[in-house]
Each structure stands twice: as C-alpha cells, then as structure tokens.
Structure 1
Amino acid sequence: MTWIIAGAVALAVIGLGYLLYLNVRPEPPIEGVVVFPRPSRGHDHTVSYDFGGLPPVGGVHNDTWQNCGIYDEPVEAKHAVHSMEHGAVWVTYAPNLPADQIESLKERARGTSFVLLSPWPDQTSPIALSAWGIQLSVDSADDGRIDRFLEKYIVGPQTPERGATCDRGTGTPTG
C-alpha cells in the first residue's frame, strides 16, 4: 500500500513539473520578425516621415499619439510612432491589397485594444506589422504569424511606456 501511495505521489510531482515546464518554456521566435536597434525616443512637434517602403518602428515622434483603431486613410507616422511607444501594434497594408484581405485585417483589429490599422502609401510589402523596434512583413492576411505577432507584441516586453493610453490622442477611427 505504501508503494502505491509513493508511486501516485511521484507521478503527480512529475506531472506537475511537466505542466510547469510547458508554461515557462520560451515560445519559439516568429519567423521573419526583424528586431531593430533600440530606436531613439523623444518628442518633436515638427518631425515628419515620408511614405513609402515600410513604416517606421520607432524614433522621435509628435507629442500627440494616434488613437488606436481602424483607419481607411493613411495616418501620420509621427503620431503612430507615439502610439507604438505606448504599446500599440501598427498594422499597415499596401493600398492595392485585395478588399477581402483588408476586411480580414479589419476583423482582427475590431475590438482589439492597442491595434492601429491603416493603409501605407507605396508600401513595399502587402502587409507590415510594426511594434516599437520590431517589424514583420507578410504577403497575405491569412498568414498565421499575424495573430502570433499581435499576441506577443501588443503592450509587449518592447513597450517603452507601459500603462500609457491609446485613446484621447488624435484621429477618429472608422472602426
């Protein structure tokens, strides 16, 4: 009888240890994520960014952040960068992205705090996801890495100003 109890306790300890391991092991990196050197920070109301290429992932920005949400028109990077400093993920898409893919991105963004979605003129990738100092380019809204990126980087460990807001700034989201 003592052996049975000791065996059951040993199995329980091993099982709990395995569950603990599953919860604390590092998750695998998201393939294709580019980590940039620590972006500079600071406010400058005269700063501006040019469209084209991929959106910035940090740097000097305007004093006012962009309200998070869905935008059908491009937003100014100087405000979006400030939102990323607060923990937002800025999802941008090439204006010629098919309508069904844009709608798929909008569905993901609806009701999700700290997501900013907008077109980015002359973007070199169909879709780009940007967080402070981090970026991922994907070809399709069906790419499973989008959800992983959002889960990991919305107010993620890279966020310089945790606890800051993503509303009461500038802009009126359409969704």
Structure 2
Amino acid sequence: MTPSPADRRKSGNPATQAQIDLTVKQQREQKRQEKLAEYQRQLAKRRRSKLVWWIVGATAAVLVVAAIVASIVFAPAPAPSYDRGDSDGSGIEGLETFENTASHVDTAVDYEQTPPAGGDHNAIWLNCGVYTQPVPNENAVHSLEHGAVWVTYDPAQVSDDDIAALEAQLPSTYTVLSPYEGMDSPIAVSAWNAQLKVDEADDERIEQFIRAYWRSTNAPEPNAACTGAYDAPGKK
C-alpha cells in the first residue's frame, strides 16, 4: 500500500522527523517569500504605472499651455477699427478730389480716374474683402458709392510684404483690396470722389485717408450694404 503524504512526513526516527519538519518549514517559507516577491512586483508595477500617467498628464498639460501661448503669440493681429469717416480729407498731402456722376448702367464704363474714384457703375456692388485678382471696375465703384474704401496696388511695383502690410491696415468691413495693373503709382487708395496715390505700403497717409473716408456719410449711399452681392474671382 502506498503511504500518504502525511505518512511520509512522519518518521519514527527523531532525527529523520526533524529533517522532515525542517523541509516543510523551508517549503512554507519559500512560498511566503514567493508571495512577498510577487506582491512587491505588483506594487512596483502600480508605482511605475502611476509615474507613467503622471508624466503623461504633466506632458499633456505642458503641451496644452504651450498651444495656448502659441495661439496667442502667433495669432494674426485683429483688423484695425475706425470711427465712421466724415472728413473731407483736406489735410492729407497729395489728396485729389473729383466730381463724378452716380448712375446705374449695364455696360462697361470709361472712367476718368485710374483706378476709378466714382462714376456710373453696375447695379450690383462688389462684396468688400481681399481679392488676389483684379476686380471689375463697375462693381467696385458701386461699393465706393456705399462708403467703402478701395485699396489697389500694381503687382509689378509692390512685393508680397507690401501687400500684407496693406491688408493689415484695413478694417474688416467696407474695404476692398485688389491688384490693379498699369497704375502710374505702386498704390492707390480710393473713396467716392477722392483718391490718394503713394509709393510705399507704410505711408502714414494711407491710414489718414481711411480715417477720413471709411463709411463716410459724404458717399452717395452711406450705410448701404457691402456684402450679399457679387464675389469677384480671387476673393480670399
């Protein structure tokens, strides 16, 4: 008959029995040490996991803060804001003024000024904004009738930096910026019956002109819309 495990742990010899008891104690201690080692491994794993998540969270927080700072630092400057211009611009050096008619026509118009600063025009106005292509004179003049300021530049005489500098000076409404080939000056700023020609985009008279004529009540149809009509090709 095969002895049971309990029987195998018993011996009539005291020395042998002592050895058996020692072996059992060693096995128990080994199991206890194994359990302790496993507990310590799990504890170290949880600590590493917490450290990793803390690092991830801290890194994410730093990235969020950096993104917010970058959005503030590198965000484009807001468009300047001006009060409605009711001046006649008489103090602006080099300003020219004209007397133009204001009839609606459905044909091309031979304007007396280049670019036009008023005159007969199409019944549909040009939506104000920035254009990268030349816009129709007859629609742009209708926008002038509503109090808009039209800034034109000869692309052969100005740089991309000049164009960006011009755009940065414009209010977000009631202005048109567009190229105009063949002008006798690099830049022209036009309102209804008024025009200023300059050589540099940073000429301080550009701002003076805008302040004098932007949404001017001296235009034939002040407060009329500068949106909701015609988008010419090249509108940004």
Q: TM-score, normalised by structure 1?
A: 0.77
State the Cα distance separating 1:142 from its structure 2 match.
0.6
In structure 2, what is the equivalent of residue 165 of structure 1? 225
List alignment gaps of at least 5 residues for structure 1. Answer: 1-25
Query: Which letter does structure 2 place at the counterpart of 1:140?
Result: E
Task: Establish whether residue 46 from structure 1 lines up as the match of residue 107 from structure 2.
Answer: yes
Letter in 2 for 1:33: L
Are positions 1:99 and 2:150 aligned together? no
CA deviations on 1:102-154 (whole Å, 9 max, x unpaired) are: 11112223x52110000001111100000000000000001001111111101
The partner residue of 2:180 within 117, 120, 129 is: 120
Go from structure 1 to structure 2 and tell me whether the alpha carbon gap of 1:29 and 1:157 turns closer, same or farther (over 3 Å shift).
farther
Amino acid at match of 1:118: S
SS at match of 1:136: strand
**Deviation at residue 83 of structure 1 after TM alignment:** 0.2
1:35 equivalent in structure 2: 97
Between structure 1 and structure 2, the one with the greater Rg is 2
Match of 1:89 in 2: 149
Distance (whole Å) between structure 1 residues aligned to residue 149 and residue 128 of structure 2:
9
- The one-letter amino acid paired with 2:131 is Y
Contact 1:49–1:77 (Cα < 8 Å) also in 2: no
Q: What is the alpha-carbon distance in structure 2 between the residues aligned to residue 137 and residue 28 of structure 1?
A: 15
User: Counterpart amino acid of 1:83?
Assistant: S
CA shift digits 1:7-66 (9 cap, x unpaired):
xxxxxxxxxxxxxxxxxxx98611110011x2101101113458xx72111111000000
Query: What's the % identity of the aligned pairs?
Result: 42
Whose helix fraction is larger, Structure 1's or Structure 2's?
A: 2
Regions of 4+ moved over 4 Å: none
Contact between 2:154 and 2:185, CA under 8 Å: does it hold in 1? Answer: yes
The offset of 1:98, in angstroms, is: 1.0
- Range with greater deviation from structure 2 (40-49 or 64-73): 40-49
The one-letter code sitting in structure 1 at the alignment partner of 2:168 is E
Cα gap change, 1:33 to 1:135, in 2 (>3 Å) = same
Normalising by structure 2, we get a TM-score of 0.58
Question: Matched residues in 1 for 2:174 and 2:119: separation?
Answer: 18
Which consecutive residues of structure 2, in runs of 5 or more, have no partner in the other structure? 1-87
Q: Is the 8 A contact 1:94 1:119 kept in 2?
A: yes
Q: 1:28 to 1:81 in 2, by over 3 A?
A: closer
* Conserved 8 A contact 2:128-2:174: yes
Pick 1 or 2: higher relative contact order, CA cutoff 8 A, min separation 6: 1
CA contact (8 A) 2:146 2:219 kept: yes
Higher mean displacement: 26-35 or 149-158: 26-35
Q: Which residue of the partner structure matches residue 7 of structure 1?
A: none
